[in-house]
Structure 1
Amino acid sequence: MYRRIRRAALVAVAAGSIAMANNAMADVRYEVLSFEKLDGWEDDDHAAALAVFRNTCQDMDDPDWRALCAYATSDPDPKSFFELLFRPILIDDGSEAMFTGYFEPELDGSLSPSPRYAHPVYAMPPEAKEISPWLTRQQILDGDAMTGRGLEIAWVDDPVELFFLQIQGSGRIRLPDGRSIRVGYAGANGQPYRSVGVELVRRGVYEPHQVSAQVIKNWVRRNPDDGARLLYHNPSYVFFREVSEVPADKGPLGAMNRSITTLRTVAVDPAFVPLGAPVWIEKDGKGPLRRLMIAQDTGSAIKGSQRADIFFGTGDRAGRAAGRLRDPGRMIVLMPIQRAFALLSEDG
């Protein structure tokens, strides 16, 4: 999602080249923990986690993971499955742990433009795939590069919500007749992602602890001219594709091209965590969370071994919960036994 799909990283990790052996990872440390050291492990719903693991493990090509996936489909005892076949690994790259949240937005829109529905949701133009970086957000929206090309998937009524749809990377668009279409990440313009929340803090408008998605939206709407310029501060622009074949009762597609699951899917940095791997989350702060999730997604802002984005579901309520989350804690990756000890050998 986001902003989100990184196919090259997915292929590399799924092939077993977890990128931990390269020189840039030389300072990363690995520690094998016992399951007794995982706070809250005994109380979690391991069956729910196993069901989510089975949803994407079939797409992991490495032999170690394929063998585990085959066994996962044989209806094992869920808790024993994880405890017998995995080892918890704490991966430390020296950065502080931070958990944030993301969600699937719902926007009001139409399949044809009108005075109300005036803001297009664009498919990716061919030249943006070939040239990186391509045009900036401002050049795309103020210029004529997209005009008359039939790249509009739909039109929505709120440019601010469209901006945040691009940050989330997927969403639903409610049509006037009650139907909905779903859009997912198709690519981006190759420009760097710059946080408008950080920019508001830099300008002295807010303190860091005050900034959330809702706060940013409200400020932009109260200050339409300055707000438009603020959104241009982020030159990154995301293009979409329609993915309405995903059933309405399923989550949006993540980086593994499978539906993700509310409060069981986490977005990670695939340079450290294999996509599809179980991940034990110990989120502190307000509303502590102790839960086994599955690393099924990525994000351009998700960098580091202890950085994770928790999927909160679809709609405004999920968006409010996700927008409030910015908490410390720790993340432990469950690795196949032989791979876990191989990492320790690499660590020296």
Structure 2
Amino acid sequence: MFVSRNFLVVTVRLLTGLAAALLGACASWQAAEPGIGAPLPWSALPGWQGDNLAQAWPALLNSCQKMPARDANWKQICADTALFPDPDEATVRAFFETRFTPHPVTGRDGEPDGLITGYYEPLLFGSLVPTRRFRYPLYKRPDDLVTVDLGELYPELQGKRLRGRLEGHRVVPYYSRADISNGKRPPDSDVLVWVDDPVALFFLEIQGSGRVQLPDGSLMYVGYADQNGYPYVAIGRTLVRSGALKLEDTSMPAIRAWLTAHPDQVETVLNSNPSYVFFAPRAADTTGPVGALNVPLLPERSIAVDPAYIPLGCPVWLDTTLPGSEPAPFQRLEFAQDTGGAIRGPARADLFLGSGDKAERLAGEMRQRGKLYVLLPAERSLN
């Protein structure tokens, strides 16, 4: 396939700054400022003794489905989990403390903390056929979306992909959200389901997976399939710049309320984010949605991170608060099992909160400061 040289050169320049970080894995990660720092004693982790680590064991087992193939240092760790089929709290704590070493994560500009947000699995209402009510399409990955693996051309960009479409013999950028909403949309044959709320559909793209209830009461489960290649732009930022919302008042409920009160401006505001997400059906099971590591996400034990700074699959100690008039401390062992277009930077995490009204409320309100500590595989004696 012939690829436009100018198109690739621009992309390579944008991505080269991330290449060095992407080459590392858990055990070989090179400390950087900002980024992962020098090892700490376990006593330095705020609240470490207060968490019920046995509840995090299933999340470790999920990471072990993928990590041995990604990082050789995980092979023995994951093999050791088979020795403890039903470990108690003391056993799990000893397991982590003997096989991992905590490292602090420094944020931008040397800050010791960063932004912690939350996400959830939303419920939408839809139909397999379009109707007057159900007229907003949720698309599967379109056939004309081309993916170029840059690692095949530039080894230092292993794992990075370029998305576009063919125009003659050239690869050009794919259609933006505005393009798609203004007529350059995939065919109706690419529609998985039609839903009744464009704002709910937009937020489904941000969450990455969800459920759609059909008229007969059955549920369709959908998850992230691909994206059009454009960077994510937060519509909350758009509303703040326009003066519609104040920065301190920006939250998912506030954004929803503003859009509900201004239906004539919904399309314009949504189109300020050029990123567009395509979906695929997922199995109707009880394991939960699947994250970027391709393992199920567990509520309050899985987080989305920026893999340029924190390797996917690794345990991460999270020290933050939950929103409320009196913020409650939230100090738990998490696993970096997902990514997100808005999750950028070193001390940045998005906490998966599950599904339901409480999860939606917390996710919509959560914009907390917090500290991250990555647990990297410890050096182990050969004796």
TM-score (norm 2): 0.79
Hey, what's the Cα distance between the residues in 1 that align with 2:288 and 2:275?
A: 25
Unaligned 5+ residue runs, structure 2?
1-17, 148-162, 165-172
Matched, 1:138 2:190: no
**Is the contact between residue 58 and residue 66 of structure 1 (CA under 8 Å) also seen in structure 2?**
no
Change (3 A) 1:28 1:158: closer
Q: Cα deviation per residue 1:6-31 (whole Å; 9 max; x = unaligned)?
A: xxx9xx96983889559xx5764612
Mapped to 1, the partners of 2:193 and 2:35 lie a distance apart of 45
Q: Which whole-Å CA distance do the structure 1 matches of 2:236 and 2:308 have between them?
A: 26
Unmatched tracts of structure 1, length 5 or more: 1-8, 340-348
Q: Which runs of structure 2 are paired with 1:22-37 in the superposition (5 Å)? A: 28=35, 30-37=37-44
Q: Which residue does 1:329 correspond to in 2?
A: 370
Q: Which has the higher contact order (CA 8 A, sep 6+)?
A: 1
1:54 touches 1:73 (CA, 8 Å); kept in 2? no
Distance 1:317 1:26 in 2: 37
Check if 1:102 corresponds to 2:119: yes
Q: Residue 147 of structure 1: CA displacement?
A: 3.0
Partner Cα separation in structure 2 for residue 234 and residue 147 of structure 1: 22
Pairwise mapping of residues 52-63 of structure 1 onto structure 2 (< 5 A)? 52-60=59-67, 61=69, 62-63=71-72
Aligned position for 1:90: 104
Q: Which runs of 4+ in 1 moved over 4 A?
A: 12-15, 17-22, 25-29
CA spacing shift, 1:246–1:82, aligned 2, 3 Å: farther
Q: For residue 241 of structure 1, what is the aligned residue in structure 2?
A: 280
Alpha-carbon deviation of 1:225? Answer: 1.3
State the one-letter code of the partner of 1:259.
Answer: P
1:163 aligns with 2:172: no
Aligned counterpart in structure 2 of residue 79 of structure 1, from 89, 93, 101: 93
Deviations 1:295-318 (A, max 9, x none): 111111112221000001113331
Question: What is the identity, as a one-letter code, of the residue corresponding to 1:137?
Answer: R
8 Å contact 2:138–2:194 — kept in the other structure? yes
* Kept in 1: contact 2:34–2:107 (CA 8 A): yes
Looking at structure 1, the residues matched to 291 and 54 of structure 2 have their Cα atoms a distance apart, in angstroms, of 21
SS in 2 for 1:270: coil
Q: How far did residue 168 of structure 1 move?
A: 0.9
Amino acid corresponding to residue 43 of structure 2 in structure 1? E
Which digits, 9 at most, give the CA deviation of each residue in 1:124-153, with x for residues without a partner?
1122234533111121122044234x1010
**Which has more radius of gyration?**
2
Displacement, 1:284? Answer: 3.8
Identity value in percent: 41
Distance 1:178 1:73, change over 3 A: same
Equivalent position of 1:67 in the other structure: 76
SS of the residue 1:236 aligns to: coil
Cα deviation, residue 288, structure 1: 1.8
- Is 1:258 equivalent to 2:295 in the alignment? yes
| Partner deviation per Cα, 1:137-190 (whole Å, 9 max, x = no partner) | 121122044234x10100101011001111111110011111101111111111
- For residues 226 and 27 of structure 2, what CA distance do their matches in structure 1 show? 23
CA distance in 2, matches of 1:43, 1:17: 25
Provide Cα deviations, 1:254-300, integer angstroms capped at 9, x if missing partner: 11222100001011111222211111000047222000111111111
- The CA RMSD measured in Å over matched residues stands at 2.2
Distance 1:20 1:80, change over 3 A: closer
Residue 129 of structure 1: which of 130, 146, 151 is its match?
A: 146
Instruction: Quote the Cα distance in structure 2 between the aligned partners of 1:195 and 1:19.
Output: 33
State the TM-score, normalized to the length of structure 1. Answer: 0.87
> 1:92, CA displacement in angstroms?
2.0
DSSP-derived class of the 2:78 partner: helix
**Structure 1 residues 29 and 177: alpha-carbon distance in aligned structure 2, compared to 1, 3 A threshold:** closer
SS in 2 for 1:318: helix
Alignment deviations for residues 25-83 of structure 1 (CA, whole Å, 9 cap, x no partner): 57646121111111111111111112211112131121211210111221151000001
Q: What is the letter of the counterpart of residue 137 of structure 2?
A: P
Corresponding residue number in structure 1 for 2:353: 312
Could you give the per-residue CA deviations for residues 222-243 of structure 1, whole angstroms, max 9, x where no partner exists?
1111222111111111000001
